[in-house]
Structure 1
């Protein structure tokens, strides 16, 4: 009788943002994201110069929790989720901890995409979803072993989730997703007429 093990797991954490005692007002978060996009001239300019679809505060503002109380509330909630995920991953953090080192807003219009990427210099990355109109894109994760599967055949269409080369997670508004920062991911084209709004973040080991 054969004995088949599953090795080298890649974990994806999903939960409602407000599940762990913290409370973030979703309507205030939506309004603040739009206000930020309208007022952040440096961010608008960066997006235009770099052909970035829609708006992101990634390259312009690094102090959102100081500027807006709603983002401070958001960080309080995220800290709880990241701690929960770190326990699941069985990290040995020693005398350090996982600390937020980046937080930014993304507003993706119809036809916009976020190309495949990783998050260097971080341990855990994630996104919480502010607006997900009907028909908008999921987030796509790539098997980190894919570049080494030189001659492997493709998987069958209904392969088990843990065996697929790509996994599409369709989050809901108010949900938070966490993954290890080395995991390559992308956002396929937004096919909805309305904007897809999210807040992304990184945690480092400090």
Structure 2
């Protein structure tokens, strides 16, 4: 008998029927065009495309559509925290930061985690064909020193990497220690737009 002892949860859901994706897309593009500090940071750090991660911390204040996004995210994060059986005591999970990502053709976001946060995630605004999935890494990978490779037909929970192909208007949530990356945007012309965020225990 095989018993699977541990799990790495991934939450998937539609963000909200009340979010106008066209308005959200346009807001992301307007902010990216106006955010000179963010543009400078991306250029100085060799970051492909644009991110507001290092420059703007007030998106819900700047554009009401982001306040609507955060309201929807709060509901999803609360549901995910319940599914994870977190004992939060007298504290709550609260939004720590939220930022825009615009990934051009050929651009990638290399593997990383989100230290000091509890739940991280992304909601997808524009996903051109070939713009890539999101790739998650088995957190035990560094301890598999002598393990042979898995067969191609191995079940998903045994694979060292899992690729998830999201849809526009979908939100993904995961625990912030889970290493992840965005493979190369293989679209020939179009940008991949997403909004990422972290929640902390406060």
The TM-score normalised by the length of structure 2 is 0.98
One of 106, 109, 116 as aligned partner of 1:114: 109
- Mapped to 2, the partners of 1:26 and 1:136 lie a distance apart of 18
Matched, 1:162 2:157: yes
One of 122, 129, 137 as aligned partner of 1:127: 122
One of 15, 28, 31 as aligned partner of 1:36: 31
SS across alignment from 1:80: helix
| Residue ranges of structure 1 left out of the alignment (5+ in a row) | none
Matched, 1:7 2:5: yes
CA RMSD of aligned residues (A): 0.7
- Mapped to 2, the partners of 1:41 and 1:185 lie a distance apart of 28
- Structure 1 residue ranges, 4+ long, deviating more than 2 angstroms after superposition: none
Q: Which residue of 1 aligns with 2:192?
A: 196
What is the correspondence of 1:80-159 to structure 2 with a 5 Å cutoff? 80-159=75-154
Deviations 1:35-54 (A, max 9, x none): 00100000000000000000
Count of aligned residue pairs for this structure pair:
201
Q: Which residue of 2 aligns with 1:60?
A: 55
Matched, 1:174 2:169: yes
Q: Which residue of 2 aligns with 1:18?
A: 16
- Mapped to 1, the partners of 2:127 and 2:36 lie a distance apart of 25
Residue 166 of structure 1: how far off its partner (Å):
0.2
Q: Which residue of 1 aligns with 2:180?
A: 185
| Residue ranges of structure 2 left out of the alignment (5+ in a row) | none
SS across alignment from 1:157: coil
Residue 152 of structure 1: how far off its partner (Å):
0.3
- Mapped to 2, the partners of 1:158 and 1:138 lie a distance apart of 20
